[in-house]
């Protein structure tokens, strides 16, 4: 099941999009705005804007890659693939677990791909430690489960392709720009600043930046706990909806 999901998901178009889209942000928007945004404060350090943005794009790409979870479920419902899968030696639990494994693998791939691409941008500010790689893995897996579960929930509630595309793209677009992925929360007026911290993507990118730039604080630990809590809740909701769903 996991092999089947990866085969239909990791096509050349998807892989190109996962690289080209972040590259545009990092090397075009990042350096275009650098003369206007000289330094961005984060965890007691001052980062140049391209480094701040490149590290944020790791979290953004993890979120963006989990769209495949909702797309797989929605297409299986639309084209009758679920009934064919259930006619084999598979159960709904297998189906759910295979989707979670798929988005976890894609999330890890996406995170390390953007970390590799963005490395030349933030290498001067980077402070690798023994927790850097574990933190990126933690964020890739937890973020994939969280946003993959969210995409799965949306896919179970909508039947039209138009509605599915509009809702899921709107939710992910708002999540991207109402977060610290592109700009810091410091200086942002209320109530927008509060909205940042109602968005799990903010926690995801903050944790990734803390791991890359060596700024692990007590607040970052709290963000990790919150991220795990939200991911667990959404995963339980998505699993219950999928086990009860009439395909």
What digits encode the pLDDT tens for the residues 174-216?
888 899 888 888 778 888 888 999 999 999 999 998 988 888 8
Q: Is the peptide bond before 20 cis (omega within 30 degrees of 0)?
A: no
DSSP character string of 65-116: HTHHHHHHHHHHHHHTHHHHHHTSS--HHHHHHHHHHHHHHHHHHHHHHHHH
HSE-CB at 200 with a 13 A cutoff on CA atoms is 25
Look at residue 39 in the predicted model and tell me its pLDDT. 82
Rounded average pLDDT over 51-74: 82
Residue 201 and residue 60 in contact, taking contact as beta carbons nearer than 8 Å: yes
Residue 104 and residue 145 in contact, taking contact as beta carbons nearer than 8 Å: yes
Indicate the pTM of the whole model: 0.85
Task: Assign residue 160 a region (left: φ > 0; alpha: ψ between -120 and 50; beta: otherwise).
Answer: beta
Which residues face 47 on adjacent strands? 40
SS3 of 61, please? Answer: helix
Look at residue 246 in the predicted model and tell me its pLDDT. 62
pLDDT tops 90 at residue 221: yes
**Stretch (H or E) spanning 46:** strand 45-47
Q: Using CA atoms, how far apart are residues 134 and 113, in angstroms rounded to an integer?
A: 16
pLDDT tops 80 at residue 120: no
Q: What is the DSSP letter of 63?
A: H
What are the tens digits of pLDDT across the range 123-170? Answer: 677 777 788 888 988 988 898 889 888 888 888 887 777 777 788 888
Task: Assign residue 43 a region (left: φ > 0; alpha: ψ between -120 and 50; beta: otherwise).
Answer: left
Residue 47 and residue 30 in contact, taking contact as beta carbons nearer than 8 Å: no
What are the tens digits of pLDDT across the range 12-50? Answer: 766 677 777 777 888 888 888 888 887 888 877 888 888
- Confidence band (pLDDT; 50, 70, 90) for 225? very high
Residues 6+ apart with CB under 8 A from 78: 161
From first CA to last CA, the distance across the chain in angstroms is 18
Residue 76 and residue 247 in contact, taking contact as beta carbons nearer than 8 Å: yes
More confident residue, 246 or 235: 235
Look at residue 126 in the predicted model and tell me its pLDDT. 76
């Amino acid at each position: 099941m996991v092999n089947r999901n990866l085969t239909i998901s990791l096509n050349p178009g998807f892989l190109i999009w996962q690289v080209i889209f972040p590259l545009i942000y990092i090397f075009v928007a990042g350096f275009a705005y650098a003369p206007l945004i000289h330094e961005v404060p984060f965890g007691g350090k001052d980062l140049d804007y391209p480094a701040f943005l490149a590290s944020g794009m790791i979290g953004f790409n993890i979120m963006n890659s989990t769209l495949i979870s909702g797309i797989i479920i929605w297409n299986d419902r639309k084209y009758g693939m679920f009934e064919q899968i259930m006619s084999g030696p598979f159960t709904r639990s297998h189906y759910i677990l295979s989707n979670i494994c798929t988005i976890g693998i894609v999330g890890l791939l996406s995170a390390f791909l953007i970390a590799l691409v963005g490395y030349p941008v933030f290498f001067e500010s980077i402070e690798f430690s023994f927790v850097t790689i574990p933190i990126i893995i933690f964020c890739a897996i937890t973020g994939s489960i969280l946003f993959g579960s969210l995409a799965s929930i949306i896919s179970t509630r909508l039947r039209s392709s138009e509605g599915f595309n509009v809702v899921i793209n709107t939710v992910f677009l708002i999540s991207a720009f109402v977060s610290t992925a592109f700009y810091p929360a410091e200086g942002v007026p209320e109530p927008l600043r509060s909205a940042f911290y109602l968005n799990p993507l903010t926690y995801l990118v903050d944790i990734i930046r803390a791991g890359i730039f060596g700024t692990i604080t007590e607040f970052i630990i709290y963000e990790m706990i919150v991220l795990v809590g939200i991911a667990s809740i959404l995963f339980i909701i998505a699993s219950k909806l999928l086990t009860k769903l009439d395909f």
